[in-house]
């Protein structure tokens, strides 16, 4: 394909939604696969609801996902003269007309149409106004909107994903292209923007299918060739309703905050509605670009499964170098005030990462799974301790173990394990009788990575000090 130009055109009326990110991703993949251009346009004509905060969130979210645009961002509010120019052209061609009907009048006629079981479309009351009638309305202070004159017949367009889609023009009615305040409606602005920006393919959600015939009317009225259309399946929640906040987190920035990797979210979103022939589930973005085929996108909705996303995130975390993972997890430890930059022993931290990497599903879990590596003292929880005390003489046994470990010259995982096993045999107790209390003594947790490897990383001084503190805790509470 030549001269591929696609766009993502979010409205800054909310945070970047995963549904918008999904659409942006498919446009981006299509552009990258075909060596085309990916354009960002901010559709900010809903002035009351648009905000700079939302706009910045959208830009940050797209950047975080790595969906870097080649052109833009363009802003519709900076293009108002362009919309005015083309709406006037349609007036001059006799293909659009001024409408002076008030919202109240339109609502009244809509109710009557519904009562009479007619389609509630515009009745063309203002189509053939005389100059006297127009002058009268203007003296009353009415500011006109501009409506497109919808042609008779049917409109058929070929959708890359769905094939031919047909609409009966009679069901649509003349629609507003410019509001009375001089702001273009969505369908008009998007056509002017897409044409003047040279958009070759409009790839968007299936909820825009009903907008397509209206946009084709505008293209035809201006004697322009429409782009190719592809309407993606929507994202649904597990209950198969449209993905919304009641299904959980929907904004991209929240996924970032929770500790998902951008590559993992891109990987997962790409598989919602499209399956590469390879049939595997974990992909790099380079593989996605190479394999992407818009014609293979399905019509079936994508079911957003947070468990699947978490699994894919886990696989991407495991594929990181420990240095990269250390960089990415560090902010979460700082936020939890577990470490300070100036006091961080980087080699120590890399050893911690090596131990925890296989356990992390989210980057943010570093502060829950590895807090004990950075705390000076542990605040033992009585219920947790109760679970691991299986022998009345456990304090005595732990003192003996501490003495054994104090004498170890080689404080390695192998020697630590050997020493504990020998003591267990000597005392005629199971190794678990010692292992479980030692784990709680050192971590305040009942599960975690290999105990002996953990101790080796924690170090001799900190290990012996915590066992001593734990023995004191047991003597005072049990």
Select from 476, 478, 473, 477 the least CA-distant residue to 378: 473
**Are residues 419 and 405 in contact, defined by beta-carbon separation less than 8 angstroms?**
yes
Q: 235-274 in b/e burial notation, b at 16+ Cβ within 10 A? A: bbbeeeeebeeebeebbbeebbeebbbbbbbbbbbbbbbb
Peptide bond connecting 73 to the previous residue in cis, omega within 30 degrees of 0? yes
Task: Write out the DSSP string of 53-67.
Answer: HHHHHHHHHHHHHT-
What does the angle CA 14 – CA 241 – CA 249 come to, to the nearest 5 degrees?
45
Please list the active-site residues.
245
**Are residues 283 and 270 in contact, defined by beta-carbon separation less than 8 angstroms?**
yes
List beta partners, residue 231.
Answer: 204
CB within 8 A of 334, min separation 6: which ones? 340, 341
- The span from the CA of 65 to the CA of 329, in Å, is 17
Cα dihedral 285, 290, 293, 296 in deg (nearest 10): -70
Three-state SS at 449: coil
Distances (CA, A) of 92 to 140, 221, 428: 25, 11, 100
């Amino acid at each position: 394909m030549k001269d591929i130009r696609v766009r993502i055109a979010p409205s800054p009326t909310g945070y970047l939604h995963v549904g918008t990110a999904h659409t942006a991703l498919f446009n981006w993949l299509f552009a990258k696969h075909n060596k085309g251009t990916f354009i960002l346009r901010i559709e900010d004509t809903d002035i009351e609801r648009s905000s700079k905060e939302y706009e910045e969130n959208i830009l940050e979210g797209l950047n975080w996902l790595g969906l870097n645009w080649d052109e833009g961002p363009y802003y519709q509010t900076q293009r108002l003269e362009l919309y005015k120019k083309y709406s006037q052209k349609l007036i001059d061609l006799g293909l659009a007309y001024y409408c002076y009907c008030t919202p109240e009048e339109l609502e009244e006629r809509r109710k009557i149409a519904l009562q009479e079981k007619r389609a509630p479309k515009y009745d063309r009351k203002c189509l053939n106004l005389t100059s006297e009638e127009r002058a009268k309305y203007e003296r009353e202070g009415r500011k006109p909107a501009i409506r497109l004159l919808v042609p008779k017949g049917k409109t058929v367009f070929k959708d890359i994903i769905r094939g031919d889609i047909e609409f009966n023009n009679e069901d649509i009615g003349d629609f507003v292209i410019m509001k009375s305040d001089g702001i273009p409606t969505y369908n008009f602005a998007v056509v002017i923007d897409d044409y003047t920006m040279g958009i070759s393919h409009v790839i968007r959600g299936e909820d825009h299918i009903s907008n397509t015939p209206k946009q084709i009317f505008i293209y035809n009225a201006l004697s322009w060739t429409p782009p190719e259309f592809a309407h993606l399946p929507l994202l649904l929640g597990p209950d198969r309703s449209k993905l919304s906040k009641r299904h959980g987190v929907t904004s991209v920035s929240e996924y970032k905050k929770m500790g998902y990797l951008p590559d993992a979210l891109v990987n997962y979103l790409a598989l919602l509605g499209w399956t590469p022939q390879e049939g595997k589930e974990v992909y790099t973005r380079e593989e996605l670009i190479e394999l992407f085929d818009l014609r293979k996108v399905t019509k079936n909705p994508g079911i957003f499964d947070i468990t699947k996303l978490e699994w894919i995130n886990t696989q991407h975390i495991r594929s990181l170098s420990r240095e990269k993972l250390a960089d990415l997890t560090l902010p979460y430890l700082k936020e939890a005030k577990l470490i300070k930059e100036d006091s961080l022993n980087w080699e120590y931290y890399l050893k911690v990462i090596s131990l925890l990497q296989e356990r992390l599903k989210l980057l943010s879990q570093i502060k829950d799974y590895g807090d004990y590596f950075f705390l000076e003292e542990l605040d033992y929880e009585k219920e947790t301790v109760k679970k691991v005390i299986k022998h009345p003489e456990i304090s005595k046994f732990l003192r003996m173990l501490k003495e054994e470990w104090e004498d170890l010259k080689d404080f390695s995982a192998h020697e630590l394990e050997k020493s504990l096993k020998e003591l267990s045999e000597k005392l005629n107790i199971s190794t678990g009788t010692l292992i479980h209390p030692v784990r709680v003594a050192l971590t305040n947790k009942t599960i975690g990575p290999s105990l002996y490897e953990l101790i080796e990383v924690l170090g001799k001084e900190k290990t012996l000090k915590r066992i001593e503190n734990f023995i004191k805790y047991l003597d005072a509470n049990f």
